[in-house]
Chain A
Amino acid sequence: MWDYSDTVKEHFFNPKNAGAVAEANATGEVGSISCGDALRLTLKVDPETEVILESGFQTFGCGTAIASSSVLTEIIKGMTLDEALKVTNQDIADQLEGLPPEKMHCSVMGREALQAAIANYRGEEWRDDHEEGALICKCFAIDAVMIEEMVWANKLRTVEDVTNFTKAGGGCAACHEDIEAILEKVLAEKGEKFDAAAMPVKKPVETVAAVKTPLTSVQRIKKIEEVLESLRPALMADGGDVELVEVIGNTAYVNMTGACNGCQMAAMTIAGIQQRLMEVMGEFIKVVPASEMKKLVNIEVA
């Protein structure tokens, strides 16, 4: 059985806003019956203010699909359509106090139903812009389609390449056999052969030059910023960001924002940033969330 939070259970056992809204003027229908999850979201939107007055859902799906639908209808009530468009699937997952990686697609389905309903209200056509495949890396919730696309686009050759570009396989490593199978398949399509010992593909972001001489404090902070800047595109691809708050001794305090904030993977992301900083700076650097700065600094002062 999945390890569901109490909030997921609460929304599943006592769903809010179940059923279709009477006199709805926006409808979004998304999902896949073959995969077992589909959702119809109906909204009543005030034509003057574009405020969502009422929202209702009808869902065919598992406990998470129903809970995600229920919590979505609560989140968006009272929002304007423009505000509602900013709701991410991470917002839905956060409201539910987190979801197992295998179930994150239910929160994605919620966001897409919302986008589809708003497009319907505005007379636009909504198209899904992503395809979802079988979940390969359970640590970072990366599916087969995503890995295949990255292998194609970046000419990846080894499992290590795939981990560098997608994070897939960077956790428990149990999925390395599956990643090799994807590499074999894609490389065969390109007329190449998979070789586990192939040279790694250089990742474009790894261009920050390593530090050789001692730095002043200002130079040091600038260099740290430079490293964070180089990592930013990868974070932003996941809908997140990082901000340097303070550097005290060998500790760098950072703010994880956007999707990184509250993400179950935040700790691993921070570990990755720390690793990269140490490689470039050539010294031990500890990266700590800024939320922990106050108490730590107080201890130091005391």
Chain B
Amino acid sequence: MSDIYLDNNATTKVDRAVVDAMMPYFLEQYGNPSSIHKFADGVARGLKQARQQVQALIGCEHDSEIIFTSCGTEANTTAILSAIKCQPNRKEIITTMVEHPAILGVCEQLEKEGYTIHRLPVDKCGRLNIESYKKMLSENVALVTVMWANNETGTLFPVIEMAELANAAGVMFHTDAVQAVGKIPMMLADTKIDMLSLSGHKLHSPKGIGVLYLRRGVRYRPLLRGGHQERGRRAGTENTASIVGLGKACELALQHIEFENTKVKAMRDRLERGIIDSVPHSFVTGDLNNRLPNTTDIAFEYIEGESILMLLNKAGIAASSGSACTSGSLEPSHVMRAMDIPYTAAHGTIRFSFSRYNSMSEVDEVLKVMPGIAATLRKLSPYWSGDAPVANPEQAFAPTYS
């Protein structure tokens, strides 16, 4: 059995067809798209085709609404800073407590510079309260930025409805859709979403390429100036090969979107069910009825995530964890904390994220080893005795803080 990759929300394998589409742009059509000679005469056409392929996947009205960036993070930063520069009198931003650091980090910095950041809390299933969101919308808000799908749990936020509400209140709306694009169908033309970020390497294109979707007519200020590229909205010589690769990847994602929501989902469901049935004291986090089809995040109580990952890795299985140790921080994932998952479970969360390259036989392999891994670590755990947790775990083991 070869190694099993179940960490597709972190990044994905580049599709062979994507690599093939890119190769000519390294070796033959390597000219600068702005140049007037035969090394460049096919490049502009390649870029135009890629723009249309992205447009088709996200369902936007015009291909000129696509701005290629260097990554999802750049798209997010550009969106937030553009919104506040356009509207200098609006000093508030609405976001959520469970956003990706690429959003939270920028907001934290703006907070230091005097902005008020409203971070919407979530309930134990990771859901937002739309009523409290409505109350926050005002003429002081420069931007609402809310992720489409959560990277850890896969939970979907009602961004289409939230964009309608923002629009009605005259507030700009951005969504970080890095995890959602290519996994669920979308038709941006029918929404009031003003800006959207996506990242190539989450959908089988290379790392180092992203997109900011900017609805026509939305006020905008570039992050990078000093060039006519992307119609002056993102200066810098185009990453032509990667743009073409991203275009191809979007075309393939569109072709596989039904597969993603049937076959990939079936693999995820089987793994999830199998683990919950075979490992006692484990549970799924997030909104079970409203999730990405490829993601499951399972908490294994009384053991720690990095240890689980090391044993999984030894068995040839790649996944990721929300524990503090895997991030090098002192706290478990902010998403788990926001959902009020107890520490003894939050540190033991493991995210399995699938792609169309996975198979049912891989699911069976994971199901073979997972109960043994949990049992091995629980044997070492001060919270565990024999086949069950100790009675009153929190009282039975109360270490001196150190």
Q: Which residues of A contact B325 (CB under 8 A)?
A: 36-37, 61-65, 103
A29 touches B379 (CB 8 A): no
The stretch among B113-121, B263-271, B393-401 that forms the contact with chain A is B393-401
B381 touches A59 (CB 8 A): yes
Distance of A15 Cα from B377 Cα, bound (Å): 11
A59 touches B382 (CB 8 A): yes
A248 interfacial by beta-carbon distance below 8 Å? no
Closest A residue, CB atoms, query B331: A34
The stretch among A108-116, A198-206, A289-297 that forms the contact with chain B is A108-116
Residue interface mask B345-382, A partner, CB < 8 A = 1 = 00100000000000000000000000000000001111
Complex partner residue of A58 from B347, B381, B401, CB under 8 angstroms:
B381
Distance of A19 Cα from B376 Cα, bound (Å): 12
A40 touches B382 (CB 8 A): yes
Known: A12-B310, A36-B325. A60 touches B381 (CB 8 A): yes
Residue interface mask A203-239, B partner, CB < 8 A = 1 = 0000000000000000000000000000000000000
Q: Which residues of B contact A38 (CB under 8 A)?
A: 382, 397, 399
Closest B residue, CB atoms, query A1: B313
- A133 CB to nearest B CB, Å: 8
B383 interfacial by beta-carbon distance below 8 Å? yes
A13 touches B314 (CB 8 A): yes
Complex partner residue of A128 from B310, B347, B400, CB under 8 angstroms:
B400
Known: A60-B381, A134-B330. A32 touches B401 (CB 8 A): yes
Complex partner residue of B397 from A12, A29, A108, CB under 8 angstroms:
A29
Q: Which residues of B contact A37 (CB under 8 A)?
A: 304, 325
A58 touches B328 (CB 8 A): no
Q: Which residues of B contact A29 (CB under 8 A)?
A: 382, 397-400
Complex partner residue of B379 from A9, A19, A102, A132, CB under 8 angstroms:
A19
A33 interfacial by beta-carbon distance below 8 Å? yes
- A248 CB to nearest B CB, Å: 44
Closest A residue, CB atoms, query B398: A29
Distance of A31 Cα from B325 Cα, bound (Å): 14
Q: Which residues of B contact A31 (CB under 8 A)?
A: 399-402
Known: A33-B343, A34-B331. A62 touches B323 (CB 8 A): yes
A18 interfacial by beta-carbon distance below 8 Å? yes
B328 touches A59 (CB 8 A): no
Main secondary structure of the interface of B (DSSP, over half): loop
Residue interface mask B280-317, A partner, CB < 8 A = 1 = 00000000000000000000001111110011011000
A36 touches B347 (CB 8 A): yes
Known: A18-B379, A35-B330, A102-B328. A62 touches B306 (CB 8 A): yes
List CB contacts (< 8 Å) of A17-57 with chain B. 18-19, 29-40, 57
Distance of A34 Cα from B332 Cα, bound (Å): 7
List CB contacts (< 8 Å) of A48-91 with chain B. 57-66
Looking at B302, B347, B383, the one whose CB has the most chain A CB atoms below 10 A away is B347
Looking at A18, A62, A66, the one whose CB has the most chain B CB atoms below 10 A away is A62
A152 interfacial by beta-carbon distance below 8 Å? no
A288 interfacial by beta-carbon distance below 8 Å? no
A280 interfacial by beta-carbon distance below 8 Å? no
- A140 CB to nearest B CB, Å: 15
A135 interfacial by beta-carbon distance below 8 Å? yes
B400 touches A30 (CB 8 A): yes
Complex partner residue of A30 from B314, B379, B399, CB under 8 angstroms:
B399
Distance of A9 Cα from B306 Cα, bound (Å): 13
Complex partner residue of B332 from A36, A40, A102, CB under 8 angstroms:
A36
Known: A29-B398, A36-B332, A128-B402. A58 touches B382 (CB 8 A): yes
Distance of A98 Cα from B323 Cα, bound (Å): 22
B380 touches A58 (CB 8 A): yes
Distance of A32 Cα from B343 Cα, bound (Å): 10
- A53 CB to nearest B CB, Å: 21
Distance of A47 Cα from B304 Cα, bound (Å): 36
A284 interfacial by beta-carbon distance below 8 Å? no
Q: Which residues of B contact A13 (CB under 8 A)?
A: 310-311, 314
Closest A residue, CB atoms, query B323: A36
Closest B residue, CB atoms, query A101: B328
Complex partner residue of B304 from A1, A62, A102, A134, CB under 8 angstroms:
A62
Distance of A33 Cα from B314 Cα, bound (Å): 26
Distance of A125 Cα from B181 Cα, bound (Å): 57
B307 touches A40 (CB 8 A): no
Complex partner residue of B307 from A19, A63, A112, CB under 8 angstroms:
A63
Q: Which residues of A contact B399 (CB under 8 A)?
A: 29-33, 38-40
Complex partner residue of A109 from B323, B381, B402, CB under 8 angstroms:
B402
- A249 CB to nearest B CB, Å: 45
Q: Which residues of B contact A36 (CB under 8 A)?
A: 304-305, 323-325, 332, 343, 347
Q: Which residues of B contact A116 (CB under 8 A)?
A: 400
A60 touches B302 (CB 8 A): yes
Distance of A276 Cα from B310 Cα, bound (Å): 44
- B338 CB to nearest A CB, Å: 15
Distance of A62 Cα from B400 Cα, bound (Å): 18
A60 touches B402 (CB 8 A): no
B344 interfacial by beta-carbon distance below 8 Å? yes
Known: A34-B343, A59-B382. A134 touches B329 (CB 8 A): yes
Distance of A33 Cα from B331 Cα, bound (Å): 9
- A251 CB to nearest B CB, Å: 39
Q: Which residues of B contact A34 (CB under 8 A)?
A: 330-332, 343
27 sample A-B contacts, Cβ–Cβ < 8 Å, listed by A number: A9-B310, A12-B310, A19-B379, A30-B400, A31-B402, A32-B402, A33-B399, A35-B331, A36-B305, A36-B332, A38-B399, A39-B382, A40-B399, A57-B380, A58-B382, A60-B304, A60-B382, A62-B304, A62-B305, A62-B307, A62-B325, A63-B307, A63-B325, A112-B402, A126-B400, A134-B329, A134-B330
Binding site for A on B (CB under 8 A): 302-307, 310-311, 313-314, 323-326, 328-332, 343-344, 347, 379-383, 397-402
Extra 18 A-B pairs, beta carbons < 8 Å, given A30-B400, A36-B332: A19-B380, A29-B399, A30-B399, A30-B402, A31-B402, A32-B401, A34-B330, A36-B325, A37-B325, A40-B382, A58-B380, A60-B382, A62-B307, A64-B325, A109-B402, A126-B400, A134-B330, A135-B328
Binding site for B on A (CB under 8 A): 1, 9, 12-13, 15, 18-19, 29-40, 57-66, 102-103, 108-109, 112, 116, 126-128, 130, 132-135
